[in-house]
Structure formats: C-alpha cells, structure tokens
C-alpha cells in the first residue's frame, strides 16, 4: 500500500501521490454547460484531501450533438475557458493536479439533449437501451469532430489544466468507432482496426498541433463493450490500440469498459468481497504488459 503514497509522473505532470480521482459524471454543471460553484466546492474538497490527480467529469466538444446528459460540462466554445480556469486554480491551491476529460456522445444521446436533432454515430445501429437509431455521420462531420477535439484540448491548456484526457470508453463516440458492433462502416473510417481507430490518430495529431509535444494527453480506453463474442470489441484489438496510442504520443492510458446498452458493466452492483473489485484489472494488466507508458 505504501506505493500509493509515493510521487508519480505522467508525462510532464508531477503528482504528489498515486491517488487519482477518475472522471465521474456529477450532474453539477450549470444548465448551459459552464462550471458551477458546486463543482468548484467539490473539486476543492477533493484536492484539499490530498488527491494527487483529479480528472474532471467529461466535457463535450461539439454542440449540440456531442452532449450526453443534462448539466454536463461543455468545452465547445471559448466562453467555457474561464470556468475551467477557476477549477484549475482551486485544485492547484491545494497541491493537486487537474486533467480535463473531453468527449462526444455520438449515438449515446437523445433529441431532448441535442435540440431536437437525431443523435449521430459511426453507423445507424439502434441503441437498445433507448430504441433510438442514430444517423450515420458524414465524412465532413467526422473531420469537424476531429477539429472540435483539438480545439477543446487547446482550451483545456489555455484554462491552466495540467493535461487533457480523451474519452474513448463507455460507449461514447470514439468507443463507438473502435467497436465493430457500433462501427459497421465500409469506408476509410470502418472495417479493419486501422480504419476504426483512424479517427483517434487524426485527433491526437491535431491535438498535438494545438497543445504542443509536452502537454499531457491521456486516453480513457474501453477494454470491452460489455458483451462478448464475435462482432464485439476484442481484448486483442484493445491491446493493439493501446500500442498505437503510445506510438502516436499519448501520455497514459486508463482502462475501463462497457456502454449504456451493457447496463451493469461500467458500475457493477453486488460487490461484496475485495476480490470482486477491480473488474477491469485483468484487462489493464494485459494492456500494461504491452506498453511502456502509465
């Protein structure tokens, strides 16, 4: 256990210990997506209690189709920079570090969140949890989303954050592209693994152009769709993706899993024994063995 209290480094981020508050959706944002006073209080409390690294709840990069929930934070416009700057200040005041997680909802949204528009994803695969069939993104829209991620990373840096985490898990857009279940495209953005992760390669390339080579860019990566068998995300593809992420310049990888359709995969009930905890530990161990970044 002592190792948890030792200093640690992720890229250029020097952490006082290894306690990381993983991104957790708190529904505390203001209605317009800006940072609220309640969020500042929460993050200051986390930092004051000696958390080493705090990763924010996911902030959406494109409006309105990128929005996943009510009171979700937004980072699609420069007007949100000041709020994140305040958040960084209260975290830094107590010696902790702040990473802003950025995301796009893709098919995991609904018209009541997207100003009446039909959600869009890699392919028109019905979300069984809502019954909504998204429309397929055009190539032009994909490039706009790539640029939106890069612009959001630039805003995170301008706001004084210590890094940014790109959300590639939990069934959101980039996880949708990675999975053969939700990505059934036959063009350059679908099919084999090279094509399915092309969007991530383009995002990190443009993010690096926006924030430079030293600013930490982390990934939150799905290790499973929450379903097993042919047609779903395989651990072999996850391991190969992790290798690519390291090669392309990501600073660290956080392993998670699941999507909305998989229900209890992301947050499992009935955890009564220590050995039941860490249900993505085996996948994380396999990924760790394949890469040299944290």
How confident is the model over 64-94, as pLDDT tens digits? Answer: 999 999 999 999 999 999 999 999 999 999 9
Average pLDDT over residues 180-205: 98
- CA 96 – CA 15 distance, rounded (Å): 7
Q: In 249-280, where does DSSP find H-type helix?
A: none
Where residue 50 falls (left for φ over 0; alpha for ψ -120 to 50; beta otherwise) is: left
- Domain assignment present for residue 292? The answer is no
Higher model confidence: residue 271 or residue 292? 292
**Residue 294: Cβ-neighbour burial (10 angstroms; 0-12, 13-18, 19+):** middle
Q: What is the dihedral of CA 193, 107, 152, 210, to 10 degrees?
A: 20
**Residue 85: Cβ-neighbour burial (10 angstroms; 0-12, 13-18, 19+):** middle
Q: Each residue of 5-39: pLDDT tens digit?
A: 999 999 999 999 999 999 999 999 999 999 999 99
- Domain assignment present for residue 172? The answer is yes
Percent with pLDDT over 70 in the chain: 98
CATH number of the domain residue 229 falls in: 3.20.20.70
Whether 168 and 222 have beta carbons less than 8 Å apart is answered as yes
Percent with pLDDT over 90 in the chain: 90
3 state SS of 14: strand
pLDDT range class, residue 278, cuts 50, 70, 90: confident
Domain of 144?
12-267
- Say which residues have a Cβ less than 8 Å from residue 285's Cβ, sequence separation at least 6: none
Instruction: Reply yes or no on whether the pLDDT at 1 is more than 70.
Output: no
pLDDT range class, residue 265, cuts 50, 70, 90: low
The token duo for 270 is 């009935």
Cis check for the bond before 64: say yes or no (omega within 30 of 0): yes
Average pLDDT over residues 259-274: 77
Catalytic residue among 43, 60, 172, 181: 172
- Domain assignment present for residue 4? The answer is no
pLDDT range class, residue 183, cuts 50, 70, 90: very high
Q: In the chain, where does DSSP find H-type helix?
A: 37-48, 81-92, 139-158, 173-178, 193-196, 198-211, 235-248, 281-288
Whether 58 and 102 have beta carbons less than 8 Å apart is answered as yes
172 is catalytic: yes
The token duo for 211 is 């924030």
Q: Each residue of 219-262: pLDDT tens digit?
A: 999 999 988 778 999 999 999 999 999 999 999 999 999 998 88
- Domain assignment present for residue 22? The answer is yes
pLDDT range class, residue 266, cuts 50, 70, 90: low
- Domain assignment present for residue 275? The answer is no
Residue 187: name the closest of 147, 242, 137 by CA: 137
Count structural domains, the chain. 1
Please report the pLDDT score of residue 127 as a whole number: 94
Sign, CA torsion 169/170/175/181: positive
- Domain assignment present for residue 286? The answer is no
Please report the pLDDT score of residue 44 as a whole number: 98
Instruction: Reply yes or no on whether the pLDDT at 276 is more than 80.
Output: no
Bridge partners, 102 (sequence order): 59, 166
- Domain assignment present for residue 134? The answer is yes
pTM: 0.96
- Domain assignment present for residue 279? The answer is no
Please report the pLDDT score of residue 86 as a whole number: 98
Average pLDDT over residues 173-185: 98
């Amino acid at each position: 256990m002592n190792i948890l209290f030792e200093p640690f480094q992720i890229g250029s981020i020097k952490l006082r210990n290894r306690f990381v508050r993983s991104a957790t959706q708190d529904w505390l944002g203001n209605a317009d997506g800006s940072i609220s006073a309640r969020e500042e209080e929460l993050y200051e409390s986390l930092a004051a209690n000696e958390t080493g690294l705090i990763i924010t709840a996911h902030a959406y990069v494109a409006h309105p189709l990128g929005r996943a929930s009510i009171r979700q934070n937004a980072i699609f416009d420069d007007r949100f920079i000041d709020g994140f700057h305040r958040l960084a200040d209260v975290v830094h005041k107590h010696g902790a570090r702040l990473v802003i997680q950025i995301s796009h909802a893709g098919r995991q949204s609904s018209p009541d969140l997207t100003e009446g528009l039909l959600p869009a994803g890699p392919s028109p695969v019905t979300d069984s949890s809502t019954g909504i069939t998204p429309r397929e993104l055009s190539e032009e829209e994909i490039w706009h989303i790539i640029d939106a991620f890069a612009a959001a990373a630039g805003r995170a840096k301008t706001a004084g954050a210590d890094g940014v985490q790109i959300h590639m898990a939990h069934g959101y857009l980039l996880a949708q592209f990675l999975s053969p279940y939700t990505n059934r495209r036959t063009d350059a953005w679908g099919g084999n693994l090279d094509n399915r992760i092309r969007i991530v390669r383009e995002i990190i390339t443009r993010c690096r152009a926006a924030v430079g080579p030293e600013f930490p860019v982390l990934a939150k990566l799905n290790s499973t769709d929450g379903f097993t068998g042919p047609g779903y995300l395989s651990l072999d593809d996850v391991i190969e993706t992790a290798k690519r992420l390291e090669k392309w310049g990501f600073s660290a990888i956080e392993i998670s899993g699941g999507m909305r359709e998989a229900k209890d995969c992301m947050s499992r009930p009935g955890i009564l024994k220590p050995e039941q905890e860490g249900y993505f530990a085996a996948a994380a161990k396999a990924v760790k063995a394949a890469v040299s970044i944290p």
